[in-house]
Structure 1
Amino acid sequence: MRMSRKNDIVLFVIMVSFWALNYPLVKFALNYVDSFTLLFYRILISLVGVLIIFNRKLRFNIRRNEIIPLFILSMLNVFIFMELWFIAETTISSSLSAILIYTYPVISTLLSIIFLKESYNRYVILGIILGFSGVIVIFFHGLISGLGIGVLIAFLGSVSWASGTIYYKKYLGGTERETTNFYQFAFAIVPALMVAGVFQPNITLFEPNLTFLIIVIIIGFPGTAIAYYAFLHLNREYRVSTISSFLFLVPALSVIFSIFLLNEIPSVYEIAGLLLVSIGIIFSAKGIKK
């Protein structure tokens, strides 16, 4: 059943707030575990969270023709995207990671034109140029600062997430949001465990620090299970470009959270990149014709 516009706004605010908070929290979590173990626990807690919150709405007997699309979505939206993000954040600041990941709206707008045949005007082209100009500024700074690999990995994570969004809209838009949300974590849990086991091949994988558990519960429950439900719901009910136009709020908030929680002061290059990416997001999304 269609939610009210007011409820959609509340969902959007929750999604943006917790996604912005996730970046400094991931940096905290990486003080206790490696990126692969963090991914496993985030997916595990997110999966449990979805089961608790949406149990009555879940459809467990998925159709055969849904299995492969849900698996592909799981790899793009969860496993590949999140692992690239976590690896990147071991080498670059959380605020820089957030700025790069949130080139996603510019990339998804470009992909929506190509694969969803959304019409566009000159503002979209301008927005895409501005957005990628922001990436170039950040990447240039990363090269001269010795952070080029981390910057590239974070950007590739953004590409994976954008691809997953378009894939969901094109092939799984008719599947229930709750079911999609559950299976994107369910299909990712085994690969995540296998990879974590390779890099942490002993029982300590299952003996997490209490502080780490508290952090990852915040990341996994409201920051992933609920936030991803909101994300899937909003992308199903509205145009990809409509939702994308407001997502510049996530890196902007994340920079603020990182300043207060981690004492990370963004460089002039990072601020310039954030401004270019944010303006690019607004132009590229708003320029899509109705």
Structure 2
Amino acid sequence: MKILKYLIPYIVFGSLQYKFTKDGLTFASPFLFMSLRYFIGGLALLPFAKKVVLNRDVIILTLLTTASSGLWAMGLNYVAPSESAVLSYTMPLFSIPIAYLILSERPRTFEVVGAIIGFLGVTVYGLSLSGKLSVLGGILTVLNAVFWASFTVYYRKLRSMDPAVVNTSQMLLGSLVFLALTPVGFRFDPSLNFVGDLLFSALLGGTLLFYLWNVMLRMERVGKVTVMAFSVPVTSSIIDEVTGEVQLNHESYAGMLTMMAGIILSRKDEIFSKKRKVAVKTAKTS
């Protein structure tokens, strides 16, 4: 799969971004942190884009991404990084119907089944956290997933545009949206750790992830790309257990395995197609 060269770094940095952003939020309020994150990320991408585009679609995309990022950051104040990752990845269940409504992208059977099974894994994982998960943090994070699904579909809609231009434009414009909101709950206690957290979140966890996500959505349908992303919360959960952030139990592992089953099932047509091609090639050479 050509998409793997984009998916693998997305999984690695996507899994780590939750920890860096969570730590960064201990030094700054969510809207201030996100304003700086978007501005630094957009500025870093500007030399590659060479221009900023402001039109109706980019403005709508910006409103969707900022709503998603703002809700995610506020939710991170109440939940652990792995919990945020798992709840955020309810996103595929929302993205498939939104893609049908906006793009008329009719979902394939195994994409839908894979998304449902992956969501079942999220549910099992969530139940394993019952009694420990903040209700407010959970609601904010799931709302973030709805907006994430929406801007994911918009990325697909804007697939004819250069990803560098799209992301530079929405990040610089988004930084202004967050800047206007910074007086809300303003808090700032900078340190060297904060600088490291911010730079990771802005560059590797922001610009790079937005760019990779955009590129993958130019290559494949919304249903296929979003279901594959279930691999991020699985990786994030394992990282959190290794670092002592959370302690996983049997139900947690069952949930993660179910998510992986959803990913595999969503790619069933492609996997079996490759097997058939290999079988035919082998038969011809024998």
Question: Which bracket does the TM-score occupy, shorter chain normalised?
Answer: 0.7 to 0.9
- The answer to whether 1:193 aligns with 2:179 is yes
SS at the partner of 1:199?
A: coil
CA distance in structure 1 between the partners assigned to 2:27 and 2:244 by the alignment: 15
- The answer to whether 1:83 aligns with 2:70 is yes
Q: 1:86-109: per-residue Cα shift (whole Å, max 9, x none)?
A: 111111111011011122233223
Mapping of residues 133-148 of structure 1, within 5 Å: 133-137=120-124, 144-145=131-132, 147-148=134-135
Q: Which residue of 2 aligns with 1:127?
A: 114
Q: Which residue of 1 aligns with 2:202?
A: 220
Is the 1:23–1:98 Cα contact (8 Å) retained in structure 2?
yes
1:30 corresponds to which letter in structure 2?
Answer: L
CA distance in structure 1 between the partners assigned to 2:19 and 2:140 by the alignment: 18
More deviation, 238-247/21-30: 238-247
Among 53, 58, 65, which residue is 1:70 paired with?
58
Q: Which residue of 2 aligns with 1:239?
A: 221
Q: 1:31-69: per-residue Cα shift (whole Å, max 9, x none)?
A: 2222222212211221122124x1xx4333x3xxx5121
Among 11, 15, 18, which residue is 2:13 paired with?
18
Among 21, 27, 30, which residue is 1:32 paired with?
27
CA distance in structure 2 between the partners assigned to 1:83 and 1:123 by the alignment: 32
Cα RMSD (Å)? 2.8
Larger Rg: 2
Count how many residue pairs are aligned between Structure 1 and Structure 2: 271
CA distance in structure 2 between the partners assigned to 1:15 and 1:46 by the alignment: 16
Is the 2:118–2:230 Cα contact (8 Å) retained in structure 1?
no
Among 227, 233, 245, which residue is 1:263 paired with?
245
Among 41, 59, 72, which residue is 2:51 paired with?
59
CA distance in structure 2 between the partners assigned to 1:261 and 1:48 by the alignment: 32
Q: 1:101-122: per-residue Cα shift (whole Å, max 9, x none)?
A: 1222332233323433334454
Mapping of residues 44-55 of structure 1, within 5 Å: 44-52=39-47, 54=48
CA distance in structure 1 between the partners assigned to 2:21 and 2:140 by the alignment: 16
TM-score by length of 2: 0.82
* Distance apart, 1:253 and its partner CA: 1.3
CA shift in 2, pair 1:34/1:269, >3 Å = farther
More deviation, 210-219/124-133: 124-133
CA distance in structure 1 between the partners assigned to 2:133 and 2:226 by the alignment: 31
- The answer to whether 1:184 aligns with 2:176 is no
Is the 1:109–1:285 Cα contact (8 Å) retained in structure 2?
no
TM-score by length of 1: 0.81
CA shift in 2, pair 1:17/1:139, >3 Å = closer
CA distance in structure 1 between the partners assigned to 2:26 and 2:131 by the alignment: 26
Identity %: 25
CA shift in 2, pair 1:76/1:30, >3 Å = same
Structure 1 gaps of 5+ residues are none
1:73 corresponds to which letter in structure 2?
Answer: L
Is the 1:18–1:223 Cα contact (8 Å) retained in structure 2?
yes
2:233 corresponds to which letter in structure 1?
Answer: P
Is the 1:134–1:272 Cα contact (8 Å) retained in structure 2?
yes
CA shift in 2, pair 1:120/1:146, >3 Å = closer
Is the 2:224–2:266 Cα contact (8 Å) retained in structure 1?
no
Structure 2 gaps of 5+ residues are 274-286
CA distance in structure 1 between the partners assigned to 2:130 and 2:243 by the alignment: 26
SS at the partner of 1:28?
A: helix
SS at the partner of 2:228?
A: coil
CA distance in structure 2 between the partners assigned to 1:249 and 1:228 by the alignment: 17
CA distance in structure 1 between the partners assigned to 2:246 and 2:120 by the alignment: 23
More deviation, 190-199/153-162: 190-199
